[in-house]
Amino acid sequence: MSKRILIIDDDEAVRRSFISALEDSKFQVDTAESGEEGLQMKKDAEYNLIFLDLKMPGMNGVETLREIRKTDKEVPVYIFTAFHKEFFDQLRIVEEQGLNFEVIKKPVGSDLIVTLTKLILGQHEETKEASHV
Amino acid sequence: MYEFKLYVVGRTPKSIEVIEELVRLLEDALDGHYHLEVIDILEKPELAEEDKIVATPTLERVSPEPVRRVIGDLSDNKTTVLLALGLTAQRVEAERNE
pLDDT digits (tens, 9 = 90+) for A58-115: 999 999 999 999 999 999 999 999 888 888 888 999 999 999 999 999 888 888 888 8
Is B49 part of the contact surface with chain A (CB cutoff 8 Å)? yes
pLDDT at A129: 36
In order of start, what are the domains of chain A with their CATH numbers? 4-132 (3.40.50.2300)
Measured between beta carbons, the chain A residues lying within 8 angstroms of B53 are 83, 105
Which residues fall within 8 angstroms of residue A25, CB to CB, at 6 or more apart? A114, A117, A118, A125, A126, A127, A128
- Using DSSP's 3-state secondary structure scheme, residue A94 falls into helix
* Total domains present in chain B: 1
CATH of the domain at B79: 3.40.30.10
Handedness of CA B69, B71, B73, B77 (dihedral sign): negative
Which residues fall within 8 angstroms of residue A40, CB to CB, at 6 or more apart? A32
Q: CA-CA distance, B44 to B76, in Å (whole number)?
A: 26
Question: Do B56 and A116 count as a contact with CB atoms less than 8 A apart?
Answer: no
pLDDT at B78: 67
User: B57: distance to nearest CA of chain A, Å?
Assistant: 7
Whether ipTM tops 0.85, in short, is: no
Question: Do B14 and A100 count as a contact with CB atoms less than 8 A apart?
Answer: yes
Residue numbers of the domain that contains B31:
2-97
User: From the centroid of its chain, how far is CA B49?
Assistant: 17
Q: CA-CA distance, A69 to A100, in Å (whole number)?
A: 8
User: From the centroid of its chain, how far is CA B14?
Assistant: 15
Contacting B with CB below 8 Å, chain A residues are 76, 78, 83-85, 88, 91-92, 95-96, 98-105, 112, 115-116, 119-120
Measured between beta carbons, the chain A residues lying within 8 angstroms of B14 are 100, 102
pTM of whole model > 0.90?
Answer: no
